[in-house]
């Protein structure tokens, strides 16, 4: 290059760089999609700066080669994560580049918060106005960073929008799920009923219900779907609808539970199951008939004695036909308390990894139930549960359903 023409050439290159920097900025401001931004980047590199070869790796969920020209398929990193990780360590330690990057004049990393977003492998330039790649390397650094950060911001924006949509869907699902629960217990001067629900996540898999069958009988149900989230909530809504629709028409509890098992099988198709405690309480005779379908055993506390309600069958939806069904019977005389709970209570661990456990729960209820309504009892149990859990993460939903007989 003629030395006299060098100032003119430098001016021309600066104008070109300014022009394309402006075009790239406009493209980003116009919110052009990522493929068009890559196309603009390639145009500047290949046609304007005359870069002989270029490979651009971008990291989103994983490393991917987003742009390449001037190289054969041999430079398609098979083990991208380890290769680029190796490259990062080499750069940090300021030692020579490995053999597998031979043929490139420069490697441009793009980082954000110490996280690598991209690597651009740059070959030589054939631009007659540029003596060496180093002259335009700062500009290449600049536009590479601008393009990569703009595309990363697009991805983050998409993720934010997607998360906002998911949040709205979860809020809607949570509102819909809350409609499954009874607003209040059915009025009965012979029984004091209450339930408390503490979801693990926004949409849980627990369910409770009271259904008045006639003047003397109340159906009590506590259930838990395997798994969590919207799919569990949908299955539970299906279960709730079937329970409320079918319960008044089945005289035998065994028939009702067998029918519910068929309904869960049809809805879940073997992918999920439901554990449930279903009991029918006669407030005239104080008799409780129940089937425990794989649920943690509720218990009756009466005059210092504890009775576990364990008879029943397997979880609903585990088998096309229930392999066995046993109906249990118990007495719930005035003053006695029926206390049922989901596994989120007894399986919860403290900071030392010790589960809350059934024995602790029975002792706690026996201690707290004196001179309290069952609603106050539930709240007191939950308060003790939260103190036990302290700062450890909740493992599951927590639901309590309790009943005390008040007399004739």
- State the DSSP code for 332: -
Q: How many CB atoms lie within 10 A of CB 389?
A: 17
Compute the half-sphere exposure of residue 61: CA atoms within 13 Å on the CB side of its CA: 1
Q: How many CB atoms lie within 10 A of CB 217?
A: 16
High-pLDDT (> 90) share of the chain, %: 38
- Whole-angstrom distance, CA of residue 68 vs CA of residue 160: 30
- Whether CATH 3.60.40.10 fits 172-405: yes
| Residue 24 burial by Cβ neighbours in a 10 Å radius (0-12, 13-18, 19+) | buried
- Reduce the DSSP state of residue 50 to 3 states and report it: coil
Digit-coded pLDDT (tens) for 267-282:
888 788 999 999 999 9
Digit-coded pLDDT (tens) for 245-265:
999 988 899 999 999 999 999
Reply yes or no on whether the pLDDT at 101 is more than 60: yes
Reply yes or no on whether the pLDDT at 169 is more than 80: no
Quick one: pLDDT at residue 130?
Answer: 65
Which numeric CATH code is attached to 3-159?
A: 3.30.450.40
Reply yes or no on whether the pLDDT at 76 is more than 70: no
The mean pLDDT value of the chain amounts to 84
State the virtual CA torsion across 55, 58, 59, 65 in degrees, nearest 10: -50
The CA distances from residue 290 to 13, 149, 151, 162, 182, in Å, are 86, 62, 60, 45, 20
Q: Where in the chain is the domain with CATH 3.30.450.40?
A: 3-159
Quick one: pLDDT at residue 390?
Answer: 86
Digit-coded pLDDT (tens) for 171-191:
666 666 666 667 677 666 788
Q: What average pLDDT does range 301-329 have in this prediction? A: 94
Quick one: pLDDT at residue 202?
Answer: 61
| Residue 126 burial by Cβ neighbours in a 10 Å radius (0-12, 13-18, 19+) | exposed
Quick one: pLDDT at residue 17?
Answer: 80
- pLDDT band at 8, cuts 50/70/90? low
Give the ranges where 30-136 is alpha helix by DSSP (H): 34-42, 80-93
Q: Where in the chain is the domain with CATH 3.60.40.10?
A: 172-405
């Amino acid at each position: 290059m003629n030395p006299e023409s060098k100032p003119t050439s430098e001016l021309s290159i600066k104008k070109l760089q300014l022009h394309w920097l402006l075009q790239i900025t406009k493209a980003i401001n116009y919110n052009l999609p990522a493929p068009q931004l890559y196309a603009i980047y390639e145009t500047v590199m290949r046609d304007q700066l005359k870069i002989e070869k270029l490979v651009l790796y971008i990291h989103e969920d994983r490393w991917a080669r987003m742009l390449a020209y001037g190289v054969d398929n041999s430079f398609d990193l098979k083990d991208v994560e380890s290769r680029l990780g190796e490259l990062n360590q080499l750069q940090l330690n300021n030692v020579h580049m490995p053999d597998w990057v031979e043929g490139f004049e420069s490697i441009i990393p793009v980082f954000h918060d110490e996280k690598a977003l991209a690597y651009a492998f740059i070959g030589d330039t054939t631009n007659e106005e540029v003596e060496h790649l180093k002259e335009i390397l700062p500009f290449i650094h600049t536009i590479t960073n601008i393009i990569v950060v703009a595309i990363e911001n697009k991805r983050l924006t998409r993720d934010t929008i997607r998360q906002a949509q998911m949040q709205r869907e979860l809020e809607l699902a949570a509102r819909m799920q809350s409609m499954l629960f009874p607003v209040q217990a059915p009025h009965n001067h012979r029984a004091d009923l209450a339930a408390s629900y503490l979801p693990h996540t926004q949409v849980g898999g627990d369910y409770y219900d009271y259904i008045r069958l006639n003047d003397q009988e109340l159906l009590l149900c506590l259930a838990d779907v395997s798994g969590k989230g919207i799919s569990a909530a949908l299955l539970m809504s299906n279960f709730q609808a079937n329970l409320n629709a079918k319960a008044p028409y089945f005289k035998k509890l065994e028939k009702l539970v067998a029918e519910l098992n068929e309904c869960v099988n049809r809805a879940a198709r073997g992918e999920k199951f439901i554990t449930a405690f279903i009991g029918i309480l006669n407030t005239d005779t104080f008799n409780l008939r129940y089937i425990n379908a794989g649920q943690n055993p509720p218990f009756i506390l009466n005059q210092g004695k504890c009775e576990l309600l364990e008879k029943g069958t397997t979880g609903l939806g585990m088998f096309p036909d229930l392999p066995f069904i046993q109906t249990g019977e118990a007495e719930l005389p005035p003053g006695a308390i029926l206390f049922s709970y989901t596994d989120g209570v007894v399986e919860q661990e403290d900071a030392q990894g010790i589960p809350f456990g059934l024995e602790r729960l029975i002792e706690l209820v026996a201690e707290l139930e004196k001179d309290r309504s069952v609603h106050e009892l539930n709240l007191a149990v939950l308060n003790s549960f939260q103190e036990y859990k302290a700062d450890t993460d909740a493992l599951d939903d927590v639901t309590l359903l309790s009943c005390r007989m008040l007399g004739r």
